[in-house]
Amino acid sequence: MIVERSPILLLGAGGHARACIDVIEQNGQYAIKGLVGTLEEVGSSVLGYPVLGTDLDLPELLESHAAGIVTIGQIKTPEPRIRLFEVLERYACTVQAIVSPNAYVSPHACIGPGTVVLHGAVINAGATVGRNCIINSLALVEHDVTVGDHCHVATGARINSGVQIGDGSFIGSGCSIRQGVTVGRRCIVGMGLAVRRSCGDDVVVR
3-state secondary structure 8-76: EEEECCCHHHHHHHHHHHHHCCEEEEEEECCCCCCCCEECCEEEEECHHHHHHHHHCCCCEEECCCCCC
Going 152 to 121 to 16 to 84, the CA torsion angle's sign is negative
- pLDDT digit of tens for each residue in the chain (206 aa)? 455 788 999 999 999 999 999 999 999 899 999 999 999 999 999 999 999 999 999 989 988 777 999 999 988 899 999 999 999 999 999 999 999 999 999 999 999 999 999 999 999 999 999 999 999 999 999 999 999 999 999 999 999 999 999 999 999 999 999 999 999 999 999 999 999 999 999 999 98
Strand (E) or helix (H) holding 79: helix 79-90
Burial class, 130, CB count within 10 angstroms (exposed 0-12 / middle 13-18 / buried 19+): buried
Q: Which residues lie closer than 8 Å to 189 by C-beta, 6 or more apart?
A: 169, 170, 171, 172, 175, 177, 183, 195, 205
At residue 49, what is the residue type?
Y
> Which domains does the chain show, CATH number per domain?
6-90 (3.40.50.20), 96-199 (2.160.10.10)
The residues, ordered by sequence, that sit 6+ positions from 25 with a Cβ below 8 Å of its Cβ are 32
Confidence at residue 52, expressed as pLDDT on a 0 to 100 scale: 96
Provide the whole-model pTM: 0.95
